[in-house]
Structures are given as C-alpha cells and as structure tokens.
Structure 1
Amino acid sequence: MKTKLSNSINTIVANLQPQEISKERRITLQPLIDYIQDKVTNDQSIRINFICTHNSRRSHLSQVWAQTLAHHFNIKNVFCYSGGTEATALFPMAADTLKNQGFTIKTLSEGKNPVYSIKYAENEAPLIGFSKTYDDSFNPQSEFAAILTCSSADQGCPFIAGAEKRIPITFEDPKAFDNTPQQAEKYAERSIQIATELFYVFSKIKS
C-alpha cells in the first residue's frame, strides 16, 4: 500500500520516468538497492547519509527525496540524513525548489546557517534541514550507508568513520547556474533527476 504524500508531491512522483534511467546509471544505483534490501530482509533499521562537499544542494535534495520515496513505497525504518566535508548553509534556491515541488518548508531559525523544517506528508515528522559536516552529532555515527553525491566529496573522503558501506552516486551541481536566467529551471531539473533515481531504487525493494 502506498501512503499519502502531499497532492503536489504525489503528482510529481506519478510523472517520474524511471524507465528512462540508463543502463550505466542503474549499475551505479545497484549497490544502494542491495544495501537497503539487505537491511529490509534482516529487519534492520536503514540509515542513509547523503554527503557532498558543502551540504548545501545535492545532498539535501537527495536526503529529502529518499525519505519521501521510502514513505511512498511504505518501506519502514528508513532514516535519511545529509552532511558535508564542511558546513556552509542550505542554499536558498535548493529550499525554494523543494517548496515549489510541494514540500512544506518553514524557517526555524535565521542566520548564516538557517534551519528549516521540511515536511513531505501530513502525518510524518518533518526533516530538519541545515548544513552540517557528515560526522556531526545530528547524524548517525555508525551502521549507515554513506552516499557520495559529488565527485569532490567522493575523492576527498576515502574513509568515512562508522559507515558500513560507501557508495558514490554523483550528480552534476546546479550551482553552475546560480545567478543566471536558468537557475530555477536547472535546480528543478536536478531535483527531478534525483527523485527519479531514488524512485527507481526504492521501487526495487521487496518487503
């Protein structure tokens, strides 16, 4: 049984095209499928930490969509996190992109590193979005999969303490389009790509 998301998020999810994911990309995604399936089979909690250099764009988009799609496919005990090799701030356009795609976002605190509440379903606790290092006390310290969402974090983090599995699944940085007329379009495009690939991942899990 698929569970209730907001109507606008449901519309986006219903229109994703996972069948268009390339064979090469499916090979890249398979280790994450295997990790989640092993946890489900053994009735264990699934902790996934999405890591990028600044924890400002791709890692947050990945965290939010992974939690959303685990809920969509009714996969229990999935806990998604994000972090960086350094802390900066959740970039406003990334937050605006999620808001435009149907997530309910509230600013909990202002400042150089704002804290956001990100809600994806009526009856589920919101995710707390802010920039932090991957080993911050807010994140799991052991028994998690580390997903490297950018090549610089992949190269810069040859070892991640506490990670059971280290899986590079990199995405192009929408930052390249900041302060251009294409900014909003490119952030939305990247968010949809991430959603599509994570839809594919969770659709493969057998409970």
Structure 2
Amino acid sequence: MYTELKKSIAEILSLYKISETRGKVLKPLINYIQKKVERQDPIALNFICTHNSRRSHLSQLWAQVAAAYFEVPNVCCYSGGTEETALFPKVAETLSVQGFSIVKIADTLNPIYAIKYDENSQPILGFSKKYDHPFNPTSNFAAIMTCSNADQGCPFVSGATLRIPITYEDPKQVDGTTRQDEIYRQRSQEIAAEMLYIFSMIKK
C-alpha cells in the first residue's frame, strides 16, 4: 500500500472513534462480511447513491482499501447510482491528496479514472454508472445505500441478498464555497473511518 495512503489511514484511525449509535448502523454489514469470511465465500459490496458521483465512490474505494489493510480476502467493492452522471472531480482530487494514485484514462462527459491504492493492486475503474450496470454484480451482493434519497427512491435492488442503509451527508452542499476542500476531506475521512472500523471487526 502506498506510503502516503498508510499515513492517511493512521491519521484517520487516530482522529475518529465510532459511536455506539453508528456502530449499530454498521453492525449488519459487519455480520454479512463475517458470515461470508467464515464460509470462504466471495464478498461483493455495491455502494449505491443517487448520482454515483460522490459518497458511493468514496465508500467503494475506502471499503476496498480497508479490506486490503486488514487482510480480509475475496472482497470486491463496486458502486452505482439510481441514475448515471459523472464522478465529481473534487472526489478524485481529495482521494489523490489522501494517497491514492488516480489517472484519468477517458476524458468524456462521464470520465473514467484508473484508481490504485498499491503499486501492485489492480486498478479500480471509477466512473458513474447505474447500480445495475453490467460492470457491477448481478447477484449475491450486499447493496449499501449511502444516501437517503437512493434508499427511499430505490426500494428494490435486483440481485441483492442484503440491503443496508449506511448514509452520509452530501458534500455537494459546499460546492463552489471556500469550505469545499475542508468538507470533502472530512467526508472522505468519515467514510474511511467507518469502512476501516467495519473490516477491523472481521475475525479471519
């Protein structure tokens, strides 16, 4: 894992403590992953938000990193939306500052980014897509709803064996303000802290 990313993880682990209330919210996902690990089954997690532009990408990437950091095997993380837009550039910029390697490989209205957390890791392709896009799993996955709008507006996720709401406040509200960098960093750290907590609880 990249040195700068390890530094970011160490900082996040020292700054954030998971409250009892949030622990209860995260528990169903911990239980889901634990059962999969005990059965040595592949673990597919699809993080879903309305536009697949901010929170779902942050959750997908930090969950994949957390799995690698705590050496939980057979984990593949995905993301999608109830509609397709584009990965918001500030998300890519924020993750780059926090230690990810991010290269834009297709500069279109819906850009595609190659994202790595380790020199030898397979790149994660970051781009906006619907949750049922062919790039994502079609069955035997957990659907994690990262925003309340997607949770309410998408009552049924085809193929999901479990649906879990783990929602976060949208950083979009500070776009174009002087607090944009700060809030995006905080939201990324908050999501990272919870994904790291989830995978730290898994007994292998």
Q: TM-score range by the shorter chain?
A: over 0.9
What is the rounded CA distance, in whole Å, between the counterparts of 1:17 and 1:202 in structure 2? 13
Task: Kindly state the Cα deviation for residue 99 of structure 1 after the two structures are TM-superposed.
Answer: 0.6
Determine if the alignment matches structure 1 residue 182 to structure 2 residue 170: no
Residue of structure 2 in register with 1:70 after alignment: 67
Determine if the alignment matches structure 1 residue 123 to structure 2 residue 120: yes
Task: Kindly state the Cα deviation for residue 78 of structure 1 after the two structures are TM-superposed.
Answer: 0.2
What is the rounded CA distance, in whole Å, between the counterparts of 2:61 and 2:79 in structure 1? 9
1:148-189 Cα shifts (integer Å, max 9, x gaps): 000000001111000000000000000000000000110000
Matched residue count: 203
Residue of structure 2 in register with 1:11 after alignment: 7
Q: TM-score, normalised by structure 1?
A: 0.96
Residue of structure 1 in register with 2:89 after alignment: 92
Residue of structure 2 in register with 1:201 after alignment: 198
Gaps of 5+ in 1: none
Determine if the alignment matches structure 1 residue 22 to structure 2 residue 19: yes
Task: Kindly state the Cα deviation for residue 117 of structure 1 after the two structures are TM-superposed.
Answer: 0.3
What is the rounded CA distance, in whole Å, between the counterparts of 1:78 and 1:21 in structure 2? 22
Residue of structure 1 in register with 2:153 after alignment: 156
Residue of structure 2 in register with 1:58 after alignment: 55
Q: Secondary structure at the match of 2:139?
A: coil
1:71-119 Cα shifts (integer Å, max 9, x gaps): 0111111000000000000000011000111100001101100000000
Provide the aligned C-alpha RMSD in A.
0.9
Paired letter, 1:35: Y
Residue of structure 1 in register with 2:106 after alignment: 109
Q: Secondary structure at the match of 1:56?
A: coil
Task: Kindly state the Cα deviation for residue 142 of structure 1 after the two structures are TM-superposed.
Answer: 0.3
What is the rounded CA distance, in whole Å, between the counterparts of 1:190 and 1:33 in structure 2? 21
1:33-44 matched pairs, under 5 angstroms? 33-44=30-41
What is the rounded CA distance, in whole Å, between the counterparts of 1:17 and 1:65 in structure 2? 13
Task: Kindly state the Cα deviation for residue 133 of structure 1 after the two structures are TM-superposed.
Answer: 0.1
Determine if the alignment matches structure 1 residue 133 to structure 2 residue 161: no
Matched-pair identity in %: 56
Gaps of 5+ in 2: none
Task: Kindly state the Cα deviation for residue 16 of structure 1 after the two structures are TM-superposed.
Answer: 2.0
Paired letter, 1:171: Y
What is the rounded CA distance, in whole Å, between the counterparts of 1:163 and 1:154 in structure 2? 14
Q: Secondary structure at the match of 2:12?
A: coil
Paired letter, 2:194: E
What is the rounded CA distance, in whole Å, between the counterparts of 1:169 and 1:97 in structure 2? 21
What is the rounded CA distance, in whole Å, between the counterparts of 1:152 and 1:39 in structure 2? 28
Paired letter, 1:196: A
Paired letter, 2:10: A
